[in-house]
Amino acid sequence: MIKFYGYKKCATCRKAEQFLQQAGIHYEFIDITENPPCAEELMTIIERSNIPLHKFFNTSGVQYRELKIKQRLPALSHRERVALLASNGRLIKRPLITDGKRATAGFDAEQLAAVWS
């Protein structure tokens, strides 16, 4: 089953959901702000996605700026960065979609079609 980590008030998440629904792809919606993936799951998602770790950060988010994540990242190890993401779902780029073997972060229609269709 595909897990769709998103936020109902997020326009990007709504676009991605609409894309998946129109493609007939079934998924489980998980509110990323209430139930972000744990560090272990995130580590697996990142490793299998072929997406660089820094691309999983929601750099346009309020929390990213308020917590000064950009300044903190250089001093953090890979594992610490993953733990930071797991600790606050608002830091994760939305939507995060995974089936355990593949993953996408953010909304890009071409990428979603390539991975999920």
Each of the 117 residues of the chain gets a pLDDT tens digit; together they read 999 999 999 999 999 999 999 999 999 999 999 999 999 999 999 998 888 999 999 999 999 999 999 999 999 999 999 999 999 999 999 999 999 889 999 999 999 999 998
Angle among Cα 50, 104, 46 to the nearest 5 degrees reads 45
Q: Please tell me the pTM assigned to this model.
A: 0.92
Q: Smallest Cα–Cα separation from 13: which of 100, 103, 78, 97?
A: 97
**Other CB atoms within 10 Å distance of the CB of residue 72:** 12
Total domains in the chain come to 1
Domain housing 26: 2-116
CATH code of the domain containing 92:
3.40.30.10
Q: What is the DSSP letter of 99?
A: -
> What size, in residues, is the chain?
117
